[in-house]
């Protein structure tokens, strides 16, 4: 399904029942099929809403200058209004956490709760990621990483091959690494614009204004948004909970799926859904 949001048509799909929970994806320039499947076990507690950012997947393209983190945050608000989603839970993974943090800091009354996975509050993650790549990556990985960040990639097939070259860095258990990413779409124009905008990314000024229940998850072996980034978020958001998954890289919701889902379900029941039940008139 598609819905008009400002100057773009955003693709979205839903599953489950309950308060809305929007899945905000990362991976600048890449499509993200299967997100509803990854979080399907939450569908008895919340209504899952997965969507593609402008310039990604099945959403429409837009002028390159509109591919910024601020614009993606405004698109998120427009999506909520277009679909009539009142105070959703935001589940932001990786760079989707950037968008979620910007939106929640800018509009703190518009959010019910935050679930943040493998993300960062500012562009400080970039220096740490580069240092980790230099320390842990092979020469081909380091070359592919530089190409992914310096804007030199111009073709979708180059984009895919470069990302596949560094893909194992994202996993603690290398047996889980996919053989290829042929099921994804890659748009180098979108990626180039968004990563160029990272130089301005800083959600930290708004974190203290976020007063909703917040679940911060990170894999112990995350190289691109390391544990220090999630620790900073958890310190800055009042009452935030930090959950470190010891046997995961960048995606604990994939590598430790059962433990991750159980922790999120417990968090939602204890800090979100139970509070709503108490607030209902009797």
pLDDT value of position 274: 77
Task: Report the pLDDT averaged over residues 81-110.
Answer: 98
The dotted CATH code for 2-279 is 3.40.50.1820
- Asked whether the predicted pLDDT for residue 23 surpasses 60, the reply is yes
Phi, psi (deg, nearest 5) at residue 21: -130, 110
The candidate with the shortest Cα–Cα distance to 104, out of 94, 89, 119, 118, is: 89
What residues contact residue 233 under an 8 Å CB cut-off, 6+ apart? 101, 116, 119, 120, 121, 207, 214, 216, 240
- Asked whether the predicted pLDDT for residue 63 surpasses 90, the reply is yes
pLDDT value of position 282: 44
Angle between helices 156-166 and 139-149 (to 10 degrees): 140
Q: Which residues pair with 218 in a beta bridge?
A: 244
Residues 7-16: tens digit of each pLDDT: 999 999 999 9
Q: Are 152 and 143 in contact (CB under 8 A)?
A: no
pLDDT value of position 115: 99
pLDDT level of residue 277 (50, 70, 90 thresholds): low
Alpha-helical (H) ranges within 150-247 are: 156-166, 188-197, 204-207, 227-236
Take residue 246 and report the two structure tokens written for it: 């010891």
Measure the CA–CA gap between 175 and 168, rounded to whole angstroms.
9
pLDDT value of position 159: 98
What value does the mean pLDDT of the chain take? 96
pTM recorded for the entire structure? 0.96
Residues 36-58: tens digit of each pLDDT: 999 999 999 999 999 999 999 99
User: Which of the 8 DSSP states describes residue 121?
Assistant: S
Question: Domain residue spans in the chain?
Answer: 2-279
Q: Are 53 and 16 in contact (CB under 8 A)?
A: no
Alpha-helical (H) ranges within 39-68 are: none
Measure the CA–CA gap between 198 and 26, rounded to whole angstroms.
13
pLDDT value of position 51: 98
- Asked whether the predicted pLDDT for residue 276 surpasses 80, the reply is no
């Amino acid at each position: 399904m598609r819905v008009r949001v400002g100057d773009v048509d955003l693709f979205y799909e839903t599953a489950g029942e309950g308060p809305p929970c929007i899945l905000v994806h990362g991976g600048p320039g890449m499509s993200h099929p299967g997100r509803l499947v990854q979080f399907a076990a939450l569908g008895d507690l919340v209504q899952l809403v997965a969507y593609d950012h402008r310039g990604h997947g099945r959403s429409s393209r837009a002028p390159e200058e509109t591919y910024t983190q601020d614009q993606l945050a405004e698109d998120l608000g427009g999506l909520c209004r277009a679909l009539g989603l009142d105070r959703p839970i935001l589940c932001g993974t990786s760079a989707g956490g950037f968008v979620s943090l910007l939106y929640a800091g800018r509009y703190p009354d518009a959010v019910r709760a935050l679930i943040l996975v493998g993300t960062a509050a500012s562009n400080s993650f970039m220096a740490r990621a580069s240092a980790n790549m230099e320390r842990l990556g092979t020469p081909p990985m380091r070359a592919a990483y530089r190409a992914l960040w310096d804007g030199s990639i111009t073709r979708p097939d180059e984009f895919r091959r470069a990302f596949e070259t560094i893909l194992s860095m994202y996993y603690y258990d290398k047996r889980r690494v996919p053989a290829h990413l042929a099921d994804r779409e890659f748009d180098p124009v979108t990626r180039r614009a968004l990563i160029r905008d990272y130089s301005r990314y800083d959600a930290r000024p708004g974190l203290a204004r976020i007063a909703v229940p917040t679940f911060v998850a990170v894999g112990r072996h995350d190289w691109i948004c390391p544990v220090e980034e999630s620790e900073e978020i958890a310190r800055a958001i009042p009452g935030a909970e930090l959950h470190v998954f010891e046997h995961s890289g960048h995606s604990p919701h994939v590598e430790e799926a059962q433990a991750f889902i159980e922790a999120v379900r417990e968090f939602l029941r204890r800090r979100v859904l139970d509070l709503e039940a108490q607030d209902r008139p009797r």
